[in-house]
């Protein structure tokens, strides 16, 4: 498994719903605000190194999959980033290929 990139604590992609916190007030009035929902921000664009970590691949393997067009990316300036949904699509493609074999 690829090591964690420096300065990044990787979490499973589906942690957002588990961390949803709702604060209730008993009654909303002019002096009390309505209930608030606190949703922690989760990164949706991953560097190639982070995507490699999430997938359990080496960076060179991820770059090869990108070059072959099997893992899609987006460009932001000079950076190439992998959106979370493209990682999920790639995993689903691997599952389909495994089932077909």
Residue-wise pLDDT tens digits, 71-89 = 999 999 999 999 999 999 9
The DSSP element (H or E) to which 46 belongs, if any, is strand 45-46
Q: Is the Cβ–Cβ distance between 58 and 2 less than 8 Å?
A: yes
| Domain 17-100 in CATH 1.10.1660 | yes
Domain ranges of the chain: 17-100
Beta carbons within 8 Å of 37's beta carbon, 6+ residues apart? 20, 21, 22, 23
Per-residue tokens: 42: 């989760």
Q: Is the pLDDT of residue 39 over 60?
A: yes
What DSSP string runs through 19-59? G-EEE--S---SSSPPPEEE------EE-HHHHHHHHT--H
Residue-wise pLDDT tens digits, 6-22 = 555 555 555 544 444 44
């Amino acid at each position: 498994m690829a090591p964690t990139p420096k300065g990044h604590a990787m979490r499973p992609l589906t942690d957002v719903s588990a961390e949803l916190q709702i604060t209730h007030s008993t009654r909303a009035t002019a002096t009390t605000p309505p209930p608030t929902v606190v949703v922690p921000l989760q990164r949706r664009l991953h560097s190639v190194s982070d995507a490699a970590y999430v997938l359990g691949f080496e960076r060179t393997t991820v770059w090869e999959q990108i070059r072959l067009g099997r893992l899609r990316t987006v460009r932001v300036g000079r950076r190439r980033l992998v959106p979370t949904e493209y990682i999920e699509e790639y995993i689903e493609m691997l599952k389909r290929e495994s089932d077909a074999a």
